[in-house]
Structure formats: structure tokens, C-alpha cells
Amino acid sequence: MEKNGNKRGRQDVDPGVAIKCVVEDKGACENEQSPAIVAVCERGQSPLSVADEIEDPSAKRSSSNGDREPKRYKKRKIALMIAYCGAGFQGMQRNPGATTIEGELEKALFQAGAIQDSNVGQPKKVGWMRAARTDKGVSALGQVVSGNFFIDPPGLVERVNSHLPAPIRVLGYKRVTPSFDAKQNCVRRRYEYVLPVYVFDPDLVTACLAEQEANNPGASELDDGAIAALTSSDGAVQSDSTTVDTTAVDVSDTASEQQTRSVSAIALSDVETAPAPRIQNPEEDGNQRATRAAAKEAEKDMEMAEIRKYLMEKSGAKNAFQFGEDCINRLNRVLGRFVGSHSYHNFTPRTKATDPSSLRYIISFEAESKFVVDGVEFVRCSVVGQSFMLHQIRRMVGLAVAVVRGCAPESILETALRRQAPPSLESTDSEVKVPMAPELGLFLEECYYSSYNSKFGKLHEEVSLVDYTTDVRKFKHEVIYPHIASTEARDLVFASWVQRINDEHFPHFALAREKENLAKAAPK
């Protein structure tokens, strides 16, 4: 260090950052008092700025004159490994006024001292980024969140977990490079979808419908014949301006007749009527709505009772549905049709076939062996892709179930995944309404950072779940799987969902069968 009057200049080198410091003594050199240091970073911001340091009142260090000074901690770029059960949360992404995973995590990090109060609610200030944005009710085992946080003093994971609700756990963290981004550096993501094998039982729907017709023979007709039922592709209510044209659906063959059912007999609880003419008497209008709601609730209770009765009768019976090797092979054949690069405009809202963003590359999609939870058989479907669109995986599973059940021919997959209709076809020929499977069975299993690890693995920690295998397996088998099984046993989410996979809700199924039959009958 060179002296120049009462000023001294010093050149320090921080990893990757050149710092020039100017010390203004004004007599401090003579009595060795602590000088005022002005750190000026040649990049425009000092890593020693107040925003990047925090004092720990409990940790002290000695100064040159023997006084005790608070120890200052620096922010570190890390990748947090997180597991959570999505039940009761409005998705991963923070949303003001809603309970989300990110909202709870940020609150816990602040309470643990990892985020300053001035940075709370300001994700850009800490470089916050998530690897995947899971939807409402969707769980995760290998979610990754990156950012600049205070990791000292030791015990960050324990401190954060002590402030988190039980369904959310931080498994650990990895130190990463300053440029690491949990989303951009993720080269692929693996999701798992778990569903009970009885969703593939064709008798589950027909038996319940027969029971309904026997108990309520007049249920096939609505009280008001002028009311038009409006349903979306996943059985939910559509907007008032949307209608489903079933007049063009040919349901003359036996298979079609088995699939086409009246709206009220299938799932009246999920159907809302079209807007009625304006009624001047508000009290009368309210009474009508209350009557309609009560009728829907009664239909739903009846459907649930019939489903439970069927499942109880088939449980352990010799004629119970068997999800054997043939079913698994057929399911894998259908899932394999999604592998590769396709357009998923039919598998996400408000996207056209010509939209380049609808193109997605699926690396693998396969069903694995069965497993049992609380006496119920489940099958897991594992899909790996570079990235996924909103509701894409749930609709992929929904269409696969429809095809394996025989509700739709396999040829519908080609139409649904067609990027753009050929010039000889109408644009509507690439539009297909696709059923959406419940969010209950979906969870993010792992995010992969192979390119980052191969480039920086020798200098930094590997970003993966390798060090948390035991914790991940424990969380999956003690939290996520039991949650799926118990929720299905209580609410019959999947069993009720398959009741709506029919031509009435998805008229494209009948159209696809008709086209396939015409193609077979055409002279060669």
C-alpha cells in the first residue's frame, strides 16, 4: 500500500470483481482509529454496500482498539431445494391476497434472517427465481428457488423450516455462481402423475349410470327444456357466450351410445345453466338459484353414493377390474405418442395452433408399475420435458385416460397434436377439446441442471437432489402419496372425474370415431 499525504490507495481483488478503495484518515493513521472506508466498485456497485451486508448483534469481533463491533454477514447466491404438498395453496407463484408457496417461503426466509425487511416483497432485489410454476393444488419434491440470501450464521435450513407450515420443507441449499438462474439453467423437468387404476375400469361409469336411471328414471330431462347446458373441455362451466354444438355428432353406433349421456345424469353438479331472461323480482330469482343449487348438490351426493357402492362391491371380488400387463402396455403406447416435438395448443388455454409458443419437446412419458396406498392400487406416470405449458400435463393425462378407456380413438392424438392444419383442411380440424385430469395426482419430481453442473461442477456444488435422496423418498411416501390416497377416499376426485369423459362433454370424440369408421369403410 502506498502512502500519499494523508490518503492511501489500495487495490483489492474480489473473485471476478475489481475493487478500488480510498481511505480518508484525517488523522486516523496517527492513532490507528478505524478509518471511514469508501468502497467504489469499478462495475458500478460495491459488494460491500449496506444492501449486501447485515449485522449480527449476537456475533462480535474485536477492533484494533479493543472495542467490540457487530459482525457483518454478506449475501450469498444459493439454490434452495424445496418439497411441498400443494393442498390448500393457490399455486407456487406469489399472488397478493392469496396463500401461495412462494409467499410462505419468503415470509419464513425473512423471519429466519435470510432476507432484509427492505427487500420483502421485492423479488428482483434478491434475484428471486423459481425453477417451475406449479398450479393450484400441485405438489413438488424437487422445486428449486435461487436468490441472494444471508446464509449465516449456520443453521439456515433449520431456522427457515421452523417458520414454515408443515406441508412445506426446505431440504437444503447449494452455493451457486452469481449468474445462476433456477429457471434459465434448468434444462429439463420431471413430473409424476399418480392416479388410481380404477379410472381405467369401463364398468365404473356404466354401472353408476344404470344405478342412477333405476333410482331416478326422470333424471335424463331437465325441468326447463329451454335451458342449455354449457360445459368446457374439462367439464367446468364455460362463459355465457360459449356453446357446445352436438348436432353434428353421429352417435348411431353402440359405442357412441354408451358414451353419450344426459348432462344431468352424468354430472349435474358440474353443469350450470345458460343465462335466463332478466327477472324483475330479485327474491324470485334468488329462490330459483337456491333451488337449482340444491338440485345440483343432491345429484352430486347421489353420484358419490353410487360410486362408493360400486367400488365397495368390486373391492376384493373375483370379477373386479384388473389393471394388468395389457393395460399398462396400452397406456404406455398412448403416452409414447406424446414423445418428441408437438404443438400443445389444445392442451393449454387461449393458444392457437399457429402460435410458436405451443411447441414443446417431450423427452419421455411412461407408466411404471403399480403400487398400493391404503389398500388402493395406483399407477404412476412419469413425464420428462424441457418445459411445460399451463395445464399441459393434466390434459395429456386426461386424453390418455380417455383413449385407454375407449372413449376416444387413438387417431384423435394426431389431430390434437397437429401444429397447423394442412391447406386442404379447415383450421378447426386442428382444434380438439381435451379432458383435464385433476390436479390432485400431479407433482414436480425433479429439476435437472446437467449443463450447469458439467460447466461449474468442479468449482461449485452440484445442483441436484443426490444429497437429499432419503428426505425426498420420505416426503413422497409419508406426505404426498398418503395425501393423494386420503383425498381420493374422501372426495372421490378421480372417480367423479371419469364420469364426465363422454361425448356429451367432448363431442370431438364421436367425430374422431366417425372419421375413423369412414376411413375403414372407404374402398381401397
Residues comprising the binding site for substrate?
Answer: 191
> Which residue type does 467 have?
D
Closest to 274 measured CA to CA, from 292, 297, 300 = 292
Tell me which H or E stretch contains 521.
Answer: helix 508-521
Decide: helix, strand or coil at residue 156: helix
Q: Is 125 exposed, middle or buried (0-12, 13-18, 19+ CB in 10 A)?
A: middle
Closest to 229 measured CA to CA, from 179, 270, 183 = 270
End-to-end CA distance of the chain: 92
> Which residue type does 169 have?
R
Decide: helix, strand or coil at residue 168: strand
> Does the annotation count 14 as an active-site position?
no
CA dihedral 300, 302, 305, 310 (to 10 degrees): -100
Active-site option among 25, 52, 135, 467:
135
Collect contacts of 18-24 with beta carbons under 8 A, ≥24 apart. Answer: 18/42, 18/43, 19/46, 19/47, 19/48
Which residue stretches of 112-202 are H helix?
Answer: 156-162
Q: Is 350 left (phi over 0), alpha (psi -120 to 50) or beta?
A: left
Which residues are documented as binding site? 191
As annotated, the active-site residues are 135
